[in-house]
């Protein structure tokens, strides 16, 4: 806005930027809430991007050549939606439905809108996900599209942003441009570093990026910055723009106390007067070249590995074997790992298909974010680390569900049965965490042949799909011919004399099978169910077991009592509004230390002997 140029291009930017400001105010005032001032600071930046640099076909959001525009500062959604209006994608009428019940224009952007790649609004996620999209663009699609990520200055305090900076330069993502809107003011006052744009530039450069510091309201500087940033030179670029929050309206500009506040009608009138007038002009956006993504190897029939049962096999090993088989069959399968691929066995895929393996180092937020970015580009990402360390990325997983992302996560080393490493490495809350994700699928196989089938099913399954694998080698109890599916279970033992059902999964199934033999020798017949699909759980089989086996169930799991297999079994009954059988939950009730797997299972009360004891107490009560 400091430009007085008569250049028609500049005049167009001025007009567009003013329209974006006007619309950001109008829609938030109509909503009675929202973030007009955080939108206004970035209006000049986005005006130049939309008409000068973005390549996007708004009529064909699935065009693989489209650029990607991610608002990491999701609260600036009024600006994003105003951009969509300026591009002709939505009407002024729809714009004014912002934040209303049933509107596609939610308080923070979600992919209900076809031009939105991912949900944002939890700060510090847009850039890491942009890194994932950029990895796909540069190394898989091999298309020249750009990823433009608008960041707020407050969110640069998030460590996840620095994981993204680190990875973007490591992977030479020169298709990625971050635009940092340094408007100085956070929610409750000044940000950590105010207008210290030099500091931001030094940090970005130390992290291997090009940094361009500009006045974010000077169109010439903005234009030159974008021109430079758009040219690939082996490095990602961040444009660090000094801006004013509320820019363009005298009583909002750089004023505290205006974060996340809509103007009332009188204030709106005053603001619109200053901004000249309401307009609904449509501005031209360049369409992308019509190129084809890098040719993919043809899909082949999947040939899963099989296990003959002569040797015990860890399910994590079977996971790695299955990944490799999937890699051979389907060129869309990509694998990411958090620097533990020799433990998760993702290294089998890495060795076989190095071009589709992306090392994410000890940075679990970026690990999940990269998977989400791959999902944006319709790849089939599998991301693995120790199960406990997905807790580092829980906010990303939560948001991935809002993003409708299709990602597969595999956590190895779960539960006390990992043994000597101690509790920091033991996932004992992963099932609770993953079950409480909208639309998630949670799998926990007990056997190698079962694992490979479920890994194959994961590739075909939408949403957030999590598999817990086991560190220890366990007996192979199923033949390669037996079938396993999402939502299924396996009745391993049953008879018409069953008086109780034991439900187990993963490592505890093997304890349950030992318990079965002990109980049988004591003339107590137990049905044993392998509930390998924890969410969705096989309600039918559980109902039938309750009916046929004395309405008594013992559930045993290597997990805290809260939120795991036991609660999943109860859920099956409460959701049907049916009567609930007597359920006893065996779970880990005290903080484990180090020890052998057997010692720790025994100590935790989830070994075979404890199952036998629990069954005997429950049956005696009858």
β partners of residue 527: 501
Residues in 149-168 at the binding interface with a second copy, rule: CB under 8 A: 154-155, 157-163, 166
Catalytic residue, candidates 106, 163, 364, 511? 364
* Cβ proximity of 126 and 147 under 8 Å: no
Q: If we measure between CA atoms, which residue out of 56, 52, 11 comes closest to residue 230?
A: 52
Residues in 587-606 at the binding interface with a second copy, rule: CB under 8 A: 591, 593-596, 599-600, 603
Q: From the list 14, 31, 76, 405, which residue makes contact with a second copy (rule: CB under 8 A)?
A: 31
Alpha-carbon distances, residue 599 vs 313, 314, 418, 419, 604 (angstroms): 21, 19, 11, 8, 9
**Burial grade of 463 (CB within 10 A; 0-12, 13-18, 19 or more):** middle
490-493 and 526-530 strand pairing: antiparallel
Residues in 542-561 at the binding interface with a second copy, rule: CB under 8 A: 560-561
Check residue 523 and give left, alpha or beta (phi > 0: left; psi -120 to 50: alpha).
left
Any contact of residue 571 with a second copy (CB under 8 A)? yes
CA angle 531, 460, 104 (to 5 degrees): 105
Any contact of residue 486 with a second copy (CB under 8 A)? no
Token pair of 496 as six digits:
């018409």
Dihedral, 381, 386, 388, 389 alpha carbons, nearest 10:
-60
- What CA–CA distance (Å, rounded) separates 356 from 360? 13
Nearest residue (CB) to a second copy, 147 versus 211: 211
Q: If we measure between CA atoms, which residue out of 245, 122, 137 comes closest to residue 186?
A: 245
* Cβ proximity of 245 and 38 under 8 Å: yes
Q: From the list 2, 5, 33, 273, which residue makes contact with a second copy (rule: CB under 8 A)?
A: 33
Q: From the list 6, 231, 297, 579, which residue makes contact with a second copy (rule: CB under 8 A)?
A: 579
Any contact of residue 347 with a second copy (CB under 8 A)? yes
DSSP 374-400: HHHTT-EEEEEEEGGGGGGGHHHHHHH
Name the DSSP letter for residue 583.
E
Q: From the list 4, 266, 290, 424, which residue makes contact with a second copy (rule: CB under 8 A)?
A: 424
Nearest-approach distance from CB 33 to a second copy, in angstroms: 5
- What CA–CA distance (Å, rounded) separates 209 from 169? 6
Nearest residue (CB) to a second copy, 242 versus 392: 392
Give the x/- contact pattern for a second copy in 359-378, rule: CB under 8 A.
Answer: --xxxxxx------------
Nearest-approach distance from CB 271 to a second copy, in angstroms: 21
- What CA–CA distance (Å, rounded) separates 372 from 359? 15
Nearest residue (CB) to a second copy, 440 versus 453: 440
Q: If we measure between CA atoms, which residue out of 180, 176, 166, 305 comes closest to residue 232?
A: 176
Nearest-approach distance from CB 387 to a second copy, in angstroms: 11
- What CA–CA distance (Å, rounded) separates 215 from 237? 16
Alpha-carbon distances, residue 547 vs 34, 194, 274, 540, 552 (angstroms): 53, 66, 73, 11, 9
- What CA–CA distance (Å, rounded) separates 315 from 474? 8
Q: From the list 585, 601, 604, 607, which residue makes contact with a second copy (rule: CB under 8 A)?
A: 585
Nearest-approach distance from CB 2 to a second copy, in angstroms: 29
CB atoms within 10 A of CB 495: 12
Nearest residue (CB) to a second copy, 1 versus 182: 182
- Helix 8-31 and helix 77-86, axial crossing angle in degrees, nearest 10: 130
How many residues touch a second copy under the rule CB under 8 A: the total is 112
CA 487 to chain centre: 22
Cis peptide before 536 (omega within 30 of 0): yes
Nearest residue (CB) to a second copy, 55 versus 203: 203
Q: From the list 563, 604, 608, 610, which residue makes contact with a second copy (rule: CB under 8 A)?
A: 563
Taking the CA of residue 292 as centre, how many other CA atoms within 13 Å lie in the half-sphere pointing to its CB? 3
Any contact of residue 620 with a second copy (CB under 8 A)? no
Nearest-approach distance from CB 572 to a second copy, in angstroms: 12
Nearest residue (CB) to a second copy, 327 versus 592: 592
Nearest residue (CB) to a second copy, 186 versus 550: 186
Q: From the list 2, 7, 9, 170, which residue makes contact with a second copy (rule: CB under 8 A)?
A: 170
CB atoms within 10 A of CB 483: 9
- Which residue stretch of 59-67, 203-211, 272-280, 502-510 sits at the interface with a second copy (rule: CB under 8 A)? 203-211
Token pair of 342 as six digits:
């020799």
Nearest-approach distance from CB 83 to a second copy, in angstroms: 18
Nearest-approach distance from CB 146 to a second copy, in angstroms: 24
Active site residue 364: yes
- Which residue stretch of 314-322, 485-493, 509-517, 583-591 sits at the interface with a second copy (rule: CB under 8 A)? 583-591
- Which residue stretch of 130-138, 219-227, 408-416, 437-445 sits at the interface with a second copy (rule: CB under 8 A)? 437-445
Q: From the list 2, 5, 114, 206, which residue makes contact with a second copy (rule: CB under 8 A)?
A: 206
Nearest-approach distance from CB 20 to a second copy, in angstroms: 21
β partners of residue 468: 411
Residues in 70-129 at the binding interface with a second copy, rule: CB under 8 A: 74, 99-103, 105-108, 110, 112, 119-124
Nearest-approach distance from CB 260 to a second copy, in angstroms: 9
> 295: which residues sit within 8 A by CB, 6+ positions away?
none
Give the x/- contact pattern for a second copy in 383-422, rule: CB under 8 A.
Answer: -----xx-xx-xx--xx-xx-----------------xxx
Any contact of residue 264 with a second copy (CB under 8 A)? no
- What CA–CA distance (Å, rounded) separates 263 from 180? 25
Nearest-approach distance from CB 437 to a second copy, in angstroms: 7
Q: From the list 7, 114, 192, 250, which residue makes contact with a second copy (rule: CB under 8 A)?
A: 192
Q: What are phi and psi of 374, to 5 degrees?
A: -65, -40
Nearest residue (CB) to a second copy, 104 versus 461: 104
Nearest-approach distance from CB 264 to a second copy, in angstroms: 16
Nearest residue (CB) to a second copy, 175 versus 341: 341
Give the active site residues. Answer: 364
């Amino acid at each position: 806005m400091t430009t007085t140029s008569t250049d028609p291009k500049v005049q167009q930017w001025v007009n567009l930027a003013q329209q974006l400001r006007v619309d950001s105010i109008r829609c938030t005032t109509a909503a009675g809430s929202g973030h007009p001032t955080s939108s206004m600071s970035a209006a000049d930046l986005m005006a130049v991007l939309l008409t000068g640099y973005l390549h996007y076909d708004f009529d064909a959001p699935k065009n693989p050549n489209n650029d990607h525009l991610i608002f990491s500062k999701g609260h600036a959604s009024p600006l994003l939606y105003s951009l969509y209006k300026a591009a002709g994608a939505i009407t002024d009428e729809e714009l004014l439905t912002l934040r209303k019940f049933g509107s596609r224009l939610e308080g923070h952007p979600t992919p209900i809108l076809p031009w939105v790649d991912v949900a944002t609004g939890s700060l510090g996620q847009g850039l890491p996900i942009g890194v994932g999209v950029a990895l796909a663009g540069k190394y898989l699609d091999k298309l020249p599209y750009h990823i433009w990520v608008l960041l707020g200055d407050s969110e640069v305090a998030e460590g996840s942003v620095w994981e993204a900076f680190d990875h973007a330069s490591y992977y030479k993502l020169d298709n990625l441009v971050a635009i940092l809107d340094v408007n100085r003011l956070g929610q409750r006052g000044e940000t950590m570093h105010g207008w210290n744009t030099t500091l931001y530039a030094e940090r970005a450069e130390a992290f291997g990026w090009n940094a361009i510091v500009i006045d974010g309201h000077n169109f010439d500087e903005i234009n030159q910055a974008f021109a430079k940033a758009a040219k690939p030179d082996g490095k990602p670029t961040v444009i660090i723009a000094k801006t004013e929050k509320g820019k363009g309206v005298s009583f909002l500009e750089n004023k505290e106390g205006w974060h996340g506040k809509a103007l009332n009608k009188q204030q709106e009138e005053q603001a619109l007067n200053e901004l000249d007038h309401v307009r609904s002009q449509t501005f031209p956006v360049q369409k992308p070249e019509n190129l084809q993504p890098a040719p993919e190897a043809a899909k082949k029939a999947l040939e899963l590995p099989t296990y003959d049962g002569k040797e015990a096999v860890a399910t994590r090993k079977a996971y790695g074997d299955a990944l490799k088989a999937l890699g051979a069959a389907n060129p869309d399968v990509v694998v990411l790992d958090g620097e533990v691929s020799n433990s998760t066995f993702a290294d089998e895929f890495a060795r076989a298909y190095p071009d589709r393996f992306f090392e994410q180092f000890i940075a679990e937020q970026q690990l999940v974010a990269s998977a989400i970015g791959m999902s944006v580009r319709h790849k089939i990402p599998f991301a693995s680390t120790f199960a406990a360390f997905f807790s580092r990325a829980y906010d990303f997983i939560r948001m991935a569900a809002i993003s409708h992302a299709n990602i597969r996560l595999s956590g190895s080393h779960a539960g006390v049965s990992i043994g000597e490493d101690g509790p920091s490495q033991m996932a004992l809350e992963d099932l609770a965490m993953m079950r409480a994700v909208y639309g998630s699928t949670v799998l926990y196989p007990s056997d190698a042949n079962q694992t490979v089938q479920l890994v194959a099913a994961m590739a075909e399954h939408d949403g957030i799909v999590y598999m817990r694998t086991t560190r220890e080698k366990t007996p192979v109890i199923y033949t390669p011919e037996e079938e396993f599916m999402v939502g299924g279970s396996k009745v391993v033992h049953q008879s018409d004399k069953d008086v109780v059902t034991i439900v187990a999964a993963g490592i505890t199934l093997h304890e349950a099978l030992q318990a079965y033999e002990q109980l049988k020798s004591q003339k107590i017949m137990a049905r044993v169910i392998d509930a390998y699909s924890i969410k969705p759980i096989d309600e039918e089989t559980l109902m039938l077991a309750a009916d046929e086996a004395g309405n008594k169930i013992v559930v045993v799991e290597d997990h805290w009592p809260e939120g795991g297999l036991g609660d999943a079994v109860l859920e099956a009954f409460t959701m049907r509004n049916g009567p609930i059988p007597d359920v006893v939950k065996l779970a880990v009730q005290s903080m484990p230390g180090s020890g052998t797997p057997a010692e720790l299972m025994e100590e935790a009360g989830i070994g075979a002997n404890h199952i036998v004891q629990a069954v005997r107490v429950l049956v005696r009560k009858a």
